Amino acid sequence: MDAPAWALIDLGAIRDNVAALRHHVGGAGLMAVVKSDAYGHGLLPCAVAALTSGADWLAVVRVAEALELRRAGIQAPLLCVMSVPGGPHDEAIRNDVDLSVSTVGLLREIAAAARRAGRPARLHLKADTGMSRGGATMAQWPGLVDAALAEQAEGTVEVVGLWSHLACADIPGHPSVQVQLGLFRDAVAMAERAGARPQVRHLANTPATLTLSETWFDLVRTGGGVYGLSTLPGGPPDWLRPAMSVRSRLVQVKQVAGGTGVSYGHRYVAAMRATLGLIPVGYAEGVPRNPAAALEVGVRGHRWPVAGTVSMNHCIIDFGEGPVAAEVAEGDEVTLFGPGDAGEPTVQDWADALGMVSYEVVTRFGALVPRSYFGVIYEDGPWHGDEGSWQDCRTASAPYAGT
């Protein structure tokens, strides 16, 4: 493979994760969040995998992502969670994409787009219950609801959802969770008293889906959980499986004497005679530069430390001077992180070492790291992406390999 590194995406793991999450939440619906290119895993293959395993809804962050799914033939309920002023609202409405609204000004803009589109916009009104990010504050909420219901009476919009987002669901016992839950219940009650009849009320993200059943309402929004990830302390439960592995190969192996400085700034010094390996992947490809992080990779069934500062396109691995060090060779496969089946580091291990969340780690590996897919997602054959049509993808016999 003519690439410095490659990401393997296990679509079977995504299917299994969605099925497990559906079982976990019982009667609540499940919205699979495939925003940001499905957390770096690939928008279309992951959306299909989630839907074929029982996801009821999909969510994206930009209308362009929603339109890509619609062009591929996906007709499942689809929410764009971040509508913006000046956005392509007309096209979203014509393609049956639900839009989130937090302000009266944006509501009016979308209503005007609906008039041009000749059909009502499907809206989810968002309340700010304490995240202080998006959503109408509790003071603004009645005005937003009244304006939305007035537009609904005019036939320009349909209020199909009420929602909010939790700030601290991944901090067990955090008091803000119960405060936000109470405010969301108040917001829903106020909207329903005013005449709203939403199809879905949704509050729970992945950590709340995993640990806070009282937040589930009609629908849970699982992002990281779909891909086997979680921001909860210690990562996801063992019944969720990470779907992404990132691999590279050794391009050089050399021996150095004890006391040799390694990489920029010589922040790492070989403690004794050592075998060093070079892989052609660095911070341009997605490996954080942080020289203080205790990153490890997997080679020949063992874990080895990344030595020193990560370069733009290189990492150095210290194999020490033991028997394995004598065997490593150019061309050996290196697993940066994977599911941990062969003892290799997991994405959660990398996140812990870097002081990041696992979502941040996987989304770093972008255009310079090609993706390939495995795992059957249709009963009549695995997903295939090449240049074929959506219908061709359903029956092709080869796994998808894309960028």
**227 included as an active-site residue:** no
Q: For residue 205, give the nearest of 223, 232, 226, 183 by alpha carbon.
A: 223
CA distance 15 to 247: 22
Asked if residue 164 lies in contact with residue 138, where contact means CB atoms within 8 angstroms, the answer is no
Of the candidates 35, 227, 268, 373, the residue annotated as catalytic is: 35
Cβ-contact 248, 336 below 8 angstroms:
yes
Element (H, E) at 5: strand 5-10
Q: Is 264 a catalytic residue?
A: yes
Residue tagged 């916009």 (tokens): 121
Tell me if 47 sits within 8 A of 239, measured CB to CB. Answer: no
Contact partners, residue 51, CB within 8 Å, separation at least 6:
32, 58, 74, 76
Long-range contacts of 116-122, Cβ-Cβ distance < 8 Å, separation of 24 or more: 116/90, 117/90, 117/93, 119/93, 119/94, 120/93, 120/152, 120/155, 120/156, 120/157, 120/158, 121/89, 121/92, 121/93, 121/156, 121/157, 121/158, 122/93, 122/96, 122/97, 122/98, 122/157, 122/158, 122/160
Return the bridge partners of 299, or none. Answer: 302
In DSSP terms, 78 is beta-bridged to 58
Amino acid making up residue 180: Q
Given 39, 126, 254, 264, which residue is catalytic? Answer: 264
- In 42-134 the beta strands, taken as DSSP E runs, fall at 57-60, 78-80, 98-101, 121-126
Active site residues: 35, 264
